[in-house]
A and B are shown apart, each in its own frame.
Chain A
Amino acid sequence: MILTRRDRVFAVVKYVLLSLFAIPWIVIPIWTVLVNSAKTPAEAAALGMGLPTQWNVLENYGIVFTDGDYLVSLFNSIVVTVPTIVAVVLIGAAAAWAFGRSRGWTSKTVFYVISLSMLIPPTLLPTIFLLQTIQLDGSLPGYILVMIGTRLGIVVFLATGFVRALPDDLEAAATIDGANRFQIFTRIVLPLLMPVLFSATVILIVFVWSDFFFAQFLLTGSARQTLPLALYNFANSSGQTLRWNLVFAHVVLTALPLLVAYVFLQRRVMGGLTEGALR
């Protein structure tokens, strides 16, 4: 495609507008967070946009590591998020294949119910009572099970649509060649589902990592806190006031793992989405 002068002018205008938009939208909030995470408590309380007059970076971030239980809660967040996502993706894809390839009304009904679970907010106390019955309340495994049960809807919904759009000749050929269902699933279906599974993973990671409401009541004790919970409790641990410098330092440290993961996965994510997750 030949870029005319008009195209180039348009492009420049477009990016200038984008940058102007990005300033109040992204730059100011992120800058405020970063800059105030480096200030002393008194200075940070003013929430200004200026650079710190007194740099307090090491102390602020250090306190978050020690008093804010950062490493423990980071570990807990990872320990919760990874199994949840793997489980949801695998068993969700399995169910999606089953629903996508069957026409009975039972499968249709079950599919609708599971998809609806994506939308309906889960209830807190009955969930806790349920966990108490199986003796898992307050523990990480119990929390993981609840996360899986309430997040399956997204994967099942997205993947089933995808499966229905896939022609089934590969599977038919494999059946004729004698492959069993499990082999067909792992060697043919799952690889084809990768694009939609990747996009679902992005959405899942964001939701599971930042869950706060359920973590607050399903995880007891400071040894089991996940990052959002640790941030919340830490922000409310000072005498009477919010210490913005420490709060923002914690916010930075909480978002950092996700940012790293995102930058790392970015190309695959966009690839996944553009390969037609939304058929």
Chain B
Amino acid sequence: MYQAAPPFRRRSTRFVAIAATLAVGGAALAGCSPASSDGSGGGVTLTVWHNTQDPQAVLDMYSAYEKESGNTIELVPISSDGFEAAELTKWATGDRPDIMEMNGGASVIAQYNPAENFTPLTDEDFVARGGDVYTTGGYGPDGEIYTAIVNFPEVWGLYYNKDVLAEHGLQPATTQAELLQQCQVLKGAGVTTIAESGGSQWPLFAIPFTETTSIMGPDWQTDVLDRTTTIDAPDSPLLTGLENYKALLDGGCANSDITTATFEDSVASVFSGEAAYQAIHSNIEPVYLDQAGGDAALLGDTIGFTAFGADAPGVMVQPGVIGVYALPKTGDSAKEAAALDFLTFATGDYYQTYIDESGTFPILSGATDPTTASPVMKEIKAAYDAGPIGPLPGSGLTPGGFGDLLGALSKLIVNDITPQQVVEQFQSHVASTAKSEGLPGW
């Protein structure tokens, strides 16, 4: 034999052997990952792409459906942070779920080429029962409805601190002019008028877009698409909305930490009275409720909600991310039938239970309002019912809407870009997307 191996070498050989066994064992374990159950009652297994942010009421709905139908729901979580981008990337890999929670904005739906990939739902009963909400989203470029809207949509408006306004003898502002006026009063008293959340980026479009919606009318987006007008035309409602927003910023009406404040910070700010208004949507009401320690009465005493617009109040509505479902075409007729069956169940037999558990208002006719809604939630519902409601600007344009909306807005608040430059940027983005999509006339 070759020279005697020092003991250390033999130990190392043993070590290698142990490590190799661990590796093989580990790989074997990995191979036996928990097998997805194949339906306890012999039913089909439906894959559902779901948002990690789904409230318990939604998860309970899935369990209830499993019990009722004997089918199995397999939940695939997609993180709520960057939800739309992550879901689209998953879609790009060729993966297809049976049921897909998604953002109900028309420009998002368009990204999935719905005519080719989604089951049309236009003639379904639950669409008819949804009423006007389908003017704000849920449809594809061809006008067909491709998503079921089951949950109350996001309603945008102004949350305000009742005590602050009362202290200065002010009524809740509903127009740009009133807001500017109140800003002068509040500034003098050291109160921030609007709590803006540049740290979260997306709430920045609340004011400019709400104002735009209130003046753009039902045809502006289609006019842009068939080139009757452009986004950067001098009379563009979007330009007006942005310029009005800029006027508020330049007038010192926003908070000094606008670039880093998150929307949670803004909620705290308005609740405490440091700021008077926050422009954001109805799904943030639970955050206000949390701020009030869960005390709905306290919330109702402190906070109110009003519609808002450029010249007259309007309500900007966007089908949210929770409670909007698309059914991709998978070619498996049993699963497609079961998926549709799920929607019928969720909007039919189970609907009232869902409303009662989630405490959200019903968007479909034929259900009664929940008794657990907070006073603020009731004000939001009243605003929605009073209307006029309009979609999010850009949601009805090409896939992807305006393009880099958040970047443009976060530049706007640090004066890195002017409103005119923003609308020009949006127009050129829509133009290049329309061209790539082969839309007629571009």
Contact = CB atoms under 8 A, between A and B. Distances in A.
**Do A and B touch directly, given a CB cutoff of 8 Å in the complex?**
yes
A140 B284 contact: no
A277 interface: no
B93 interface: yes
A46 to B, nearest CB: 9
A151 interface: no
B76 A241 contact: no
Interface residues of A, number: 51
Classify the interface of chain A: helix, strand, loop or mixed.
helix
Contact of B1 (A177, A220, A224, A237): A177
Contacts, number: 120
A140 B31 contact: yes
A187 interface: yes
Contact of A79 (B29, B90, B95): B29
B92 interface: yes
Interface string A41-85: 110010000000000000000000000000000000011101100
Nearest to A184: B2
Range for the number of chain B residues in contact with chain A:
35 or more
Given A125-B92, A232-B79, A239-B286, A141 B27 contact: yes
A78 B22 CA distance: 11
A239 B33 contact: no
A86 to B, nearest CB: 4
B79 A137 contact: no
B286 A144 contact: no
Contacts of A129: 93-94
A239 B3 contact: no
A140 B31 CA distance: 7
B33 A140 contact: yes
Which among B19, B74, B284 has the greatest number of chain A C-beta atoms within 10 A?
B19
A138 B97 CA distance: 13
A137 B93 contact: yes
Nearest to B89: A217
Given A80-B30, A222-B75, A233-B77, A187 B5 contact: yes
A224 B30 CA distance: 9
A240 interface: yes
A191 B89 CA distance: 45
A118 interface: no
A236 B53 contact: yes
A194 B8 CA distance: 11
5 contacts: A79-B26, A86-B23, A129-B94, A132-B93, A173-B3
Given A128-B93, A186-B13, 12 more contacts: A78-B26, A82-B22, A83-B24, A83-B27, A125-B89, A132-B94, A174-B2, A187-B5, A217-B90, A220-B76, A236-B52, A240-B284
